[in-house]
Amino acid sequence: MNTVQSIAKRFVPLFDRVLVSKIKPDAKTKSGLLLPESSNLSSKLATVLAVGAGRLNAKGELIAPTLKKGDTVVIPEYGGMELKLDGEKYTVYREEDIIGVVNQNA
């Protein structure tokens, strides 16, 4: 079992929270130019590792999350709660704070 699978089994987000691992962008172009982190959308991408059961509405009914494990998502530049588990950095967001899902098949 690799580290990501281990973390996803050991840390279960509650309610509408989502555990993500930020995707590290390429620091260079194919031609060798160094890119600043701020110039790249991929610095705002993350992979969903675990998702909570959902949130309760005003009637007390559970609303299931729309995100699922394995989704690639766009995250806000700031926010979330950073965790360090087994020496690796992860971030927990509320599902409503995730900006969108990247459609890999488009």
Question: Can you give the CATH number for the domain in which 79 is found?
Answer: 2.30.33.40
> Is residue 34, in this structure, part of any structural domain at all?
no
> Is residue 95, in this structure, part of any structural domain at all?
yes
Q: Which pair of structure tokens corresponds to residue 12?
A: 């279960």
The model's pLDDT over 44-72, given as tens digits with 9 standing for 90+, comes to 899 999 999 999 999 999 999 999 999 99
> Is residue 21, in this structure, part of any structural domain at all?
yes
CA distance 82 to 71: 19
pLDDT at 42 exceeding the cut of 70: no
CA distance 31 to 15: 45
pLDDT at 25 exceeding the cut of 80: no
CA distance 30 to 27: 10
Domains in the chain, number: 1
> Is residue 11, in this structure, part of any structural domain at all?
yes
CA distance 7 to 60: 30
Which structural domain range is residue 60 located in?
A: 3-26+42-101
Give me the mean pLDDT over the 96-104 stretch.
91
Element (H, E) at 62: strand 62-63
> Is residue 79, in this structure, part of any structural domain at all?
yes
Across-strand partners of 62?
Answer: 56
> Is residue 19, in this structure, part of any structural domain at all?
yes
> Is residue 31, in this structure, part of any structural domain at all?
no
